[in-house]
Chains A and B, each alone.
Chain A
Amino acid sequence: MDGITGAELIRAAALLGAGLAMGFGAIGPGIGEGFAAGKACEAIGRNPDEAGLLTRTMLVGQAVSESTGIYALVVALLLIFVVKG
């Protein structure tokens, strides 16, 4: 029986960690961006004249709240492509 070597174990752990990082990391930005979009819809419904300004502000706010998700993506990419075991 060959058994599992240490390098394979490290590789498996890195791939598993990448999946976990991306999966949990996507929860926060998903909720946050949805919340921002919902509030922006409400505001546009109440005040349609300011739709351009509201959309612009919403997009910038969403992109900022997205950054934690992007950090998770960068960590996942590092785990996949840099950790060779």
Chain B
Amino acid sequence: MEDLTRIATYSFELFGMRLTVNTETVFNTWLIMVALFALSLIATRRLQKLPNPAQRLAELYVGFMDKLTRETLETTSRGYVPLVATMFVFLLLCNWLGIIPGLSEPTKDLNTPLSLGIMGFFLTHTAAIREKGIVAYLKDYCQPFFIMAPLNVVGELAKVVSISFRLFGNILGGAIIIAVVSHMVYSLVLPPFLYVFFGLFVGTIQAFVFTMLTITYISVAIK
């Protein structure tokens, strides 16, 4: 039970700083990147008017994300579609990786959700400044009146914490429940159902929610 929260790390000295790399997380993330690269190669090889199944699946997915993003942002521009579609499919594979024995979800390590959350934070505010201009952007912090500005800043920072901790907590909580139940029933009968529920179902919903909230934050910021 003690190895539940331990993460494989490798640390070294560089220019007088102590750097620590979470080897397992990095390895699993690279594994997913390779898998995504291979999948997209398969889907876009020999593009035809009458698509083969892989191409059709990719077209369905891209079409769905395109519609969803532009409906939520209420715009006709396709600027955010590639990012949103990539983020969803990356998180989906991340959350599903845990059902393969011996591999663990990269999202079980707080660093992955937090870095994606911080990326979304900078993206949101860059989009807001570009869309509204710096003056209107700063004026938004003084709503409803000037004294509220610190509270609005804290609210923006809290969004990053809440979005990343939500994904991290859900995935880690699921992994812990699976580990505890497997320990109790000696990995008989029950764990496969738990893997389906926590790995596939909760993983899909949380990946969707993370993506959806990122789009929603952008759409609130640019309005």
Contacts and interface: CB of A to CB of B under 8 A. Distances in A.
Interface of A: 56, 59-60, 63-64, 66-67, 70-71, 73-74, 77, 81
A20 B173 CA distance: 16
Contact of A63 (B4, B5, B166): B166
A81 B4 contact: yes
Interface size for chain B: under 10, 10 to 19, 20 to 34, or 35 or more residues? Answer: 10 to 19
Contacts of B208: 59
B173 A73 contact: yes
A56 B208 CA distance: 9
Given A59-B208, A63-B206, A70 B5 contact: no
B213 A74 contact: no
Interface of B: 4-5, 162, 165-166, 168-170, 172-173, 176, 205-206, 208-209, 212-213, 216
B169 A64 contact: no
A59 B205 contact: yes
B173 A60 contact: no
A27 B176 CA distance: 20
Across the A-B interface, the 4 shortest Cβ-Cβ residue pairs: A70-B169, A63-B209, A81-B5, A73-B169
A70 B170 contact: yes
Given A56-B212, A67-B166, 12 more contacts: A59-B205, A60-B216, A66-B166, A67-B165, A70-B169, A71-B165, A71-B169, A73-B169, A74-B165, A74-B168, A74-B169, A77-B172
Contacts of A63: 166, 205-206, 209, 213
Interface hub of A63, A66, A73, A81 (most chain B Cβ within 10 A): A63
A53 to B, nearest CB: 9
B198 to A, nearest CB: 13
For the residues of B in contact with A, the DSSP-based class is helix
Contacts of A77: 5, 172, 176
Contacts of A60: 209, 212-213, 216
B205 A70 contact: no
Given A60-B209, A81-B4, A70 B216 contact: no
Nearest to B210: A63
Contacts of A59: 205, 208-209
A3 to B, nearest CB: 27
B3 to A, nearest CB: 11
A81 B175 CA distance: 15
Contacts of B170: 70
A76 to B, nearest CB: 9
Contacts of B166: 63, 66-67, 70
A64 B4 contact: no
B216 A67 contact: no
A70 B168 CA distance: 9
B5 to A, nearest CB: 5
A71 B213 CA distance: 18
